[in-house]
Amino acid sequence: MGFFSRIKKNPGWLVISFQDDGLCFAHVIREHGSRPVVTLIGFFPTTAALSSASLDKLAREIEPTGYQCSTLLSSGESQLLSVEAPNVPLEELKTAIRWRLKDMLDYHIEDAAIDVMDIPVDKGQSAQAKQMFVVAARNHMIQERQELFAQAKIPLSVIDVPEMAQRNISALLEPEGRGVALLSFDARGGLLTVSYGGELYLARHIDIPLAKLKQAEEAQRIESYDRITLELQRSLDYFDRQFSFITLSKLVLGPLGDTPGGLREYLAANLYLPVEALDLEDVFDISNVPELRQVETQQRFFQTLGAALRVEETML
């Protein structure tokens, strides 16, 4: 199974993701010309990282065989790497990519499952070196996830990654002809993505978990804000150099439950881009799930809902 497998079934995606404290699921239907509709969400708390019991409970409650099902890897379970595209025939591409990755992973390349995705270049600069994104994860982890779903009799079509899930939301926020930077945080850290024309161009992880942003001690919060600002400045400077043909319109901050004087205001005062806070109700139709109006719920389901926005990927 590839990370971006293409299997046709019923419209919409049911995404099931494992978080540190439980299992999340969400189903979204996309229709042209209207906001994506969230038809259901749910959370089963558990102390196990990968809980077969919670999958069994999900299978009993919503009969997932009627859905196209996807699971979302957590931060740290996969790597998204940018590499120069090898000049080889298409049928030799993955072999050549594996050769390039062998010194970039902290485990043997033969133990890696990989998928590749093109990074579009400026059409006016044909001489520019072509780059690609490569998603890599340990084979045994992918197999474990597949077996877990098979045991619960949940038909798993796709294994997705956080960077692509966040890209899906970012693409809906883009003004015509301009790009968007989107920054989110969860229990494992921050994720910055930059999209343009619905394509992912940059992804950076920030090693500051959500709990650090909610510390009672102001000095500790400011220290985290400073580190985030520095990482953003470096990443955006790099982006401007690498993709000078793209103009960024804004930085959007994912749901945090931020307080006055919090991260959004701090970033707005220290970055050249406008900084906006995201309300998922501006992106999704949540009339079927009014609990998503709560910012804490939005934060928990942010990546899961992003993965449920997936469309067919153009694979190489």
Pick the closest to residue 78 from 205, 202, 265, 254 (CA basis). Answer: 205
pLDDT at 316: 37
Domain at 108, CATH number? 3.30.1490
Same domain, 168 and 129: no
Q: Are 91 and 174 part of one and the same domain?
A: no
Which of 121, 136, 151 terminates a domain? The answer is 136
Low-confidence ranges of the chain (pLDDT < 70): 1-10, 124-128, 258-260, 312-316
* pLDDT for the residue numbered 121: 81
Are residues 172 and 249 located together in one domain of the fold? yes
First to last CA, the chain: 15
Does residue 4 lie in a domain region? no
- Copy the structure tokens of residue 257: 């439950």
Say how many domains are in the chain.
2
- One domain, residues 172 and 273: yes
Residue 89 lies in a domain: yes
Residues 126 and 166 in one domain: no
Q: Determine the structural domain holding residue 181 and report its residue range.
A: 162-278
**Same domain as 192, residue 265:** yes
Q: Given this model, what pLDDT does residue 127 score?
A: 54
Check whether residue 169 and residue 261 sit in a common domain.
Answer: yes
Angle at 160 between CA 95 and CA 17, to 5 degrees: 145
Specify if 1 maps to a domain: no
On whether residue 17 sits in a domain, the answer given is no
Residues 171 and 274 in one domain: yes
Question: Is there a single domain that holds both residue 182 and residue 253?
Answer: yes
How crowded is residue 248: how many other Cβ atoms within 10 Å of its Cβ? 20
Q: Determine the pLDDT at residue 89.
A: 84
Q: Domain holding 240: CATH number?
A: 3.30.420.40
* CA dihedral sign, ordered 36, 176, 255, 224: positive
At 311 the pLDDT is 82
Q: Is residue 298 one of the residues assigned to a domain? A: no
Cα gap 34→28, rounded to integer Å: 13
The long-range contacts involving 286-293, CB below 8 angstroms and separated by at least 24 positions, are 286/38, 287/37, 288/37, 288/38, 288/39, 288/40, 289/38, 289/39, 289/40, 289/41, 291/41, 292/38, 292/41
Same domain, 83 and 130: yes
261 vs 111: CA distance, rounded Å? 46
Shared-domain flag, residues 202 and 111: no
Residue 68 lies in a domain: no
Q: Which letter, b or e, does each residue of 97-115 get, where b requires 16 or more Cβ atoms within 10 Å of its Cβ?
A: bbebbeeebeeebeebbbb
Residue 97 lies in a domain: yes
What is the predicted pLDDT for the residue at 308?
97
Position 95 in a domain: yes
Check: CB of residue 66 under 8 Å from CB of residue 154: no
Threshold 0.75, pTM exceeds: yes
The predicted-structure confidence for 173-229, as pLDDT tens digits, reads as follows: 999 999 999 999 999 999 999 999 999 999 999 999 999 998 878 899 999 999 999
Indicate whether 116 and 224 sit together in one domain.
no
